[in-house]
Amino acid sequence: GGRLAEKTENTFKNGLVFSNRPVKIQEKIHLRVQRDSTNWEGALRVGFTTVPPSSRSLPLPCLAIPNLTDKPGHWAVPVNESYCQAGSELKFWVSDGGSIYVAVSNRRYKWLTGVDLSQPLWAMIDVYGQTRSILLLGKFNYSYICLTAGFSCSVKAQSCCCHQNITLYPLTFLPFNPQTYVYMKSTCPLRCYVRWCVDLLTIIRTLYKTFLNSWLVFYQNMTVF
């Protein structure tokens, strides 16, 4: 299982994705490139920011580099195209020395220093250039990835966001799957609350039908004897 972020239009930009919680120092974000394209130059960008997704104004900039990295509190590095082909997996993290590391094919690369560790950091991913979609693996299966702006979401994901270039798909469609409730209070909490209530009623109705059917079977068996 995991979470899939995918560009739905043929564009090299508008692919910013943020974690909805601060990441820990040395915490590795693990992802796989699901789809790529040769229509564009460049590929995935990864990094960190001290700016919470909930405090960002909309619309977001269309690129992590240089639109965000030119502003304080943002650090990102471009990943080489050769490491971003479909099926490629990589991990990135920030070290206790404030450096961004990227690991590909069991090799670790130190690509940037100077990250401010005095404040909480959120993971930042730009599904850029040739990269069409990514799948988040490992711990971030259940750590909710927030598409704060510049995105639309599938009906199943019910994420709160508002652009047409990215779709966020949950890969499990069970009631109360934590991956389903990806929301931001600053954008559309009412929609998420309504979704939660609808799913709760669905579960109650399902349990009621199950109980009723079980009781009918039990009653029929009792009358037979």
Q: To the nearest 10°, the Cα dihedral for 195, 196, 201, 206? A: 100
As a whole number, the mean pLDDT across the chain is 75
- pTM for the whole structure: 0.66
Rounded Cα distance, 1 and 164, in Å: 25
Residue 139 banded pLDDT, cuts 50, 70, 90: low
Tell me what pLDDT residue 189 has.
Answer: 53
- Residues 72-90 have pLDDT tens digits of 999 999 999 999 999 999 9
Tell me what pLDDT residue 49 has.
Answer: 96
Tell me what pLDDT residue 123 has.
Answer: 94
**Which of these CATH numbers, 2.60.40.1180, 1.10.3720.10, 3.40.50.1480, 2.60.120.920, describes 3-180?**
2.60.120.920
Whether residue 185 is predicted with pLDDT greater than 60 in this model: the reply is: no
**Between 153 and 22, whose confidence is greater?**
22
Rounded Cα distance, 142 and 181, in Å: 10
Longest dimension (CA), the chain: 80
Residues written for the chain:
225
Q: What is the mean pLDDT of residues 176-203?
A: 53
> Over pLDDT 90: what percentage of the chain?
37
Give the tokens for residue 28: 């590795």
Tell me what pLDDT residue 178 has.
Answer: 39
Whether residue 142 is predicted with pLDDT greater than 50 in this model: the reply is: no
Whether residue 214 is predicted with pLDDT greater than 60 in this model: the reply is: yes
> Over pLDDT 70: what percentage of the chain?
68
Backbone angles phi, psi at 147, to 5 degrees: -100, 100
| Cα angle for residues 102, 124, 122 (degrees, 5° grid) | 105
Q: What is the mean pLDDT of residues 205-223?
A: 72
Domain residue extents for the chain: 3-180, 189-225
Beta partners for 76? 47
